Amino acid sequence: MRASRLVLLLPLVFAAAGCGELADLVDDPSTADGTGSQVSDGFSDTAPFTVTVDGAALTAAIEALDVAEEQDEGYDRDLFPHWRDADGNGCSARDDVLVSQDRSGALTEADCDDAMTGEWVSMYDGETVTASGDIDIDHFVPLKEAWGSGAHAWTTEDRQSYANWLENEWHLIAVTASSNRSKSDKDPAEWMPSDESVWCAYVWAWTEVKTEWNLSVDEAEQAALLEYASQC
């Protein structure tokens, strides 16, 4: 389970949010941190958040992650109750993401539970999509990856919080179904977006989720993250 965002911010100076009993939301997600990295929840050209990555800060954050072998035994997607309506607004977490990451500005909570027409830009391949049926909502760090990196020891309540977390724009992300299938449950040692222009933002967001939720990395994963960070 993850530590509070306040504790994480002090050593890592990263923008983060929290969850459940270990995750009370602290501060605004938009920040310019002391190391030079800047992040906000405003859209960039290809992602539902904007980050200017400082390579040295990213490298330090990757090096600060615990390194451990993944423990995939016992994983079942149903152990992460997902697409819940945690905020009681009548929208599942999936629909909330579709509405919040729609660039047309025409969608509201009233559009939940129906097929939506909007405009979504898929970070993984740069494709623009207008029909919600062609969109997958991806857990940036996949559920199986989270399980093997520490979530196997969490309570069901914490896994549900992880599966439906909406407090920042890089935890759940609207992408094309094809790119999500390509990624599956792979980590950055095994898969990266076809759009190389987002690689730094992708590695930053991956590291951010792992940091926010106290998830470990395996050796190959950390080596890949460090190699990509060295180019940022």
Q: What is the pLDDT of residue 126?
A: 96
Q: What is the pLDDT of residue 5?
A: 33
Q: What is the pLDDT of residue 37?
A: 67
Q: What is the pLDDT of residue 39?
A: 86
Enumerate residue ranges in the chain where pLDDT < 50.
2-36
Cα atoms in the 13 Å half-sphere on the side-chain side of 194:
12
pTM for the whole thing? Answer: 0.85
Q: What is the pLDDT of residue 34?
A: 33
Q: What is the pLDDT of residue 96?
A: 96
CA distances from 224 to 76, 119, 159 (A): 26, 32, 26
Q: What is the pLDDT of residue 114?
A: 82
Give the H/E segment covering residue 31. Answer: strand 31-32
For residue 117, with 0-12 CB atoms within 10 Å meaning exposed, 13-18 middle and 19 or more buried, which class applies?
A: middle
Q: What is the pLDDT of residue 65?
A: 97
Q: What is the pLDDT of residue 15?
A: 33
Contact 51, 35 (CB under 8 A): no
Where are the chain's structural domains?
Answer: 5-229
